[in-house]
Chains A and B, each alone.
Chain A
Amino acid sequence: MTLDELKPGQGGVIEFVGGEGALRRRLLDMGLTPNTAVTVRKVAPMGDPIELFLRSYVLTIRKEDAAKIRLKEGEGKR
């Protein structure tokens, strides 16, 4: 499953980060690397972007970009 499919309050562990160029590099630089635990905290009032919690800080990304981040099956989700 991918990161955008999580509901607020659910978490997972990153398996793979897709995308390309500036977007992908930025996702990696911000700490969205494989094996990192991520929780979805909330969804913005208009339904997008989403608020993530990882590496003890809060990050916001858009759903379409979150869809490029694949999570490990059967780990973390609460």
Chain B
Amino acid sequence: MKYLLALAGNQNCGKTTLFNCLTGSNQHVGNFPGVTVEKKEGQIKRQKDVTIVDLPGIYSLSPYTSEEVVTRDFILKEHPNAIINIVDATNIERNLYLTLQLMELGLPMVIALNMMDEVRASGNSIDVDVLSQHLGVPIVPISASKNEGIPELIETVMKVLRSKENQMKLDFCTGAVHKAIHSIAHIIEENAKEAGFPLRYAATKMVEGDEPTRQALHLKESDLHIIEHVVADMEESLHTDREAAMADMRYQYIDQICKGCVFKHQETREQIRSEKIDRILTHKYFGIPIFLCIMLVIFVLTFNVLGTPLQELLESGINVVTGWLNDFLVKIHVSEWLRSLLIDGACAGVGSVLSFLPLIVLLFFFLSLLEDSGYIARVAFVMDKLLRKIGLSGRSFVPMLIGFGCSVPAIMATRTLSSDRDRKMTIILTPFMSCSAKLPIYGMITMAFFPKHAGLVMFSVYVLGIIVAIISGLILKSTLFKGNPVPFVMELPAYRIPAAKSVLLHMWEKAKDFIRKAFTVIFLASILIWFLQSFDWSLNLVSDSTNSILASIGSVIAPIFIPLGFSDWRASTALITGLTAKETVKSTLSVLTGAATDLQLSSVLQTIFTPLSAFSFLAFTILYMPCVAAFAATKRELGSMHAALLSSLYQTGMAYVVATIIFQVGRLLGLG
């Protein structure tokens, strides 16, 4: 028999780590139907029939964020056979708040009590048996990061799946709330059955005044009237409103059971350590400089110290393989055009992009370290006030930071923002955060023009993107997006050493994506470009690419870029092909200039650009509209083609203006 499990829990409680422990590499990433909240799915190790879905990290089942709604809908509509609720033992009260709400959904459940090792190590303890009896839910203590307790967890889950009994206790309400829930349950019983809602869940949601539930139940006007009356009675006797009454009731119940089984004498070592670390990292004066230093160190390590040697190594490997292939093709006497297609088209294009794999992997390595260690939340804390000035919240900083890796997941990560307005603004601004696909372009330009100041030029390019984003934020805030910023209520998780497995899996995912892109989109683009630049309009093979189809297209648009300082048709052509994927800007230039090595490319570039116009070209590249993949994500997240086109138009316009200013001002200053 096939089983479906749902993995639910708070953010920062080790959910992803547990998911990786349970599934290993048997996982794939997709989306929940209709929305773009990420959905990870996988088979449990050695239990091929059991599929587990990693639900988004949430704190409650309120109707206000898309993550919470997705979780509710998944459990109510997909009918998983059981829920694994992961609970952070060091922070048990707040974690159990979600547990109580999940229990109302009436499905068999197992609690994975994570980070028990930390609780024990600090001299605290939790009586798991007593807690389990109180809730009527089996509890398995685990440590996901140390891979402890996982077999026991799987065993318990299998036992629960096979048995039909459900010991779950739902009598955790008292007094006036109890009365209200039970009276309402009585009224809505039939409607809940028809809508396929667990009765207890539907009743509490009606007490809370949950709008989606009210609509789904299709209650009669008279019943609604009675329900409102019941709730008003409850509110009056408790001197509080419905939402506060429910939250208060849940937390009171949790306090009551924790008294008998959670023995906490002091904070855990990790919590004490975090407080100490934060004395420095979120320090009043040092907090921001430290953050900037960390980013600078990451960039220098990625682009200079570690990245460059690895990149050179990979490049020489690729050259050797290309050389072999070329010799082989010459030996078997294939026609000249086919050899050119494979060597000058496919190999040159794919090879030049593939050599940037080390940089991308390194960047994602550092980004996932920042994320998994808990530092990203501090960045949001430190930067919130600044981002609020441009009408966003500190939380928008996280998608923007991911934007330095790739705009596509960054745009998707905006889903964690609960305000529509913040989400849209972040989506428009994120592409200004220079993505890693643009690295090959920067590498190419700095190598040709600024070899001694590579790190500095790179840094200035990134800063330029950020400045343009700030200016754009100010413009958008006072024009299209007037209104209130999103509530900023965020947990600062204890610092933890990232699990190697999670970091490696994350890197592998990105590397796989990049390699796939290199052999699909970029492969096709390289061949297309090779075709366009090898043939003329009457489809004759041309010996000089200046007579080609591409040259004539490029020449038509080239004059547009005269104010920016570069009017060579090869530059404008590269910018067009860059829309397929930004790495193609470099591969196009390699192909168009007929440069076989980076060194040759450098010397050809020196004839196309001056250092000033090269910098203006760089500026245009980082700011203009993102690649098709990011455009598609933008369209999906903004919800309309019209909005996505406007956003791209804005970005390209901004790029044009900024690059023009750079070139013209630079020329006036005598730099060109």
Residues of A within 8 A of B (CB): 17, 21-31, 33-34, 36, 41-49, 51, 55-62, 65
Query: Which residues of chain B come closer than 8 Å to A65, judged between CB atoms?
Result: 487-489
**CB of B490 within 8 A of chain A?**
yes
Residue in chain B with minimal CB distance to A62: B488
Identify 15 new A-B residue pairs, CB closer than 8 A, beyond the known A45-B283, A56-B90, A56-B267.
A22-B65, A26-B59, A26-B62, A26-B487, A28-B247, A29-B59, A34-B244, A34-B248, A42-B278, A45-B382, A46-B384, A51-B492, A55-B91, A57-B94, A60-B380
Number of interface residues of B (CB under 8 A): 47
Query: Which residues of chain B come closer than 8 Å to A24, judged between CB atoms?
Result: 243
Q: In the complex, what distance in Å separates the CA atom of A41 from the CA atom of B279?
A: 10
**CB of B394 within 8 A of chain A?**
yes
Query: Which residues of chain B come closer than 8 Å to A25, judged between CB atoms?
Result: 60, 62, 64, 243
Q: How far is the CB of B8 from chain A (nearest CB, A)?
A: 15
Query: Which residues of chain B come closer than 8 Å to A27, judged between CB atoms?
Result: 487, 489
Query: Which residues of chain B come closer than 8 Å to A56, judged between CB atoms?
Result: 90-91, 93, 264, 267, 271
Q: How far is the CB of A50 from chain B (nearest CB, A)?
A: 9
Contact, CB under 8 Å: A45 / B93? no
Chain B 59-82 residues near chain A, CB threshold 8 A: 59-60, 62, 64-65
Q: In the complex, what distance in Å separates the CA atom of A44 from the CA atom of B393?
A: 14
Query: Which residues of chain A come closer than 8 Å to B90, judged between CB atoms?
Result: 56
Query: Which residues of chain A come closer than 8 Å to B377, judged between CB atoms?
Result: 60
A interface SS class:
mixed
Residue from B90, B94, B418 with most neighbouring chain A CB atoms (10 Å): B94
Contact, CB under 8 Å: B288 / A45? yes
Contact, CB under 8 Å: A30 / B59? yes
Contact, CB under 8 Å: B240 / A55? no
Query: Which residues of chain B come closer than 8 Å to A36, judged between CB atoms?
Result: 251
Q: How far is the CB of A76 from chain B (nearest CB, A)?
A: 17
**CB of B97 within 8 A of chain A?**
yes
Query: Which residues of chain A come closer than 8 Å to B64, judged between CB atoms?
Result: 21-22, 25-26
Query: Which residues of chain B come closer than 8 Å to A58, judged between CB atoms?
Result: 274, 491-494
Chain B 385-424 residues near chain A, CB threshold 8 A: 385-386, 388, 394, 418-419
**A28 is contacted by which of B91, B244, B283, B494 (Cβ under 8 Å)?**
B244
Contact, CB under 8 Å: A29 / B282? no
Query: Which residues of chain A come closer than 8 Å to B240, judged between CB atoms?
Result: 34
Could you show 25 A-B contacts with beta carbons less than 8 Å apart?
A22-B418, A23-B487, A25-B243, A28-B243, A29-B60, A31-B94, A31-B251, A36-B251, A44-B287, A44-B381, A44-B385, A45-B287, A49-B394, A51-B278, A55-B93, A56-B90, A56-B267, A59-B490, A59-B491, A60-B384, A60-B490, A61-B490, A62-B384, A62-B487, A62-B488
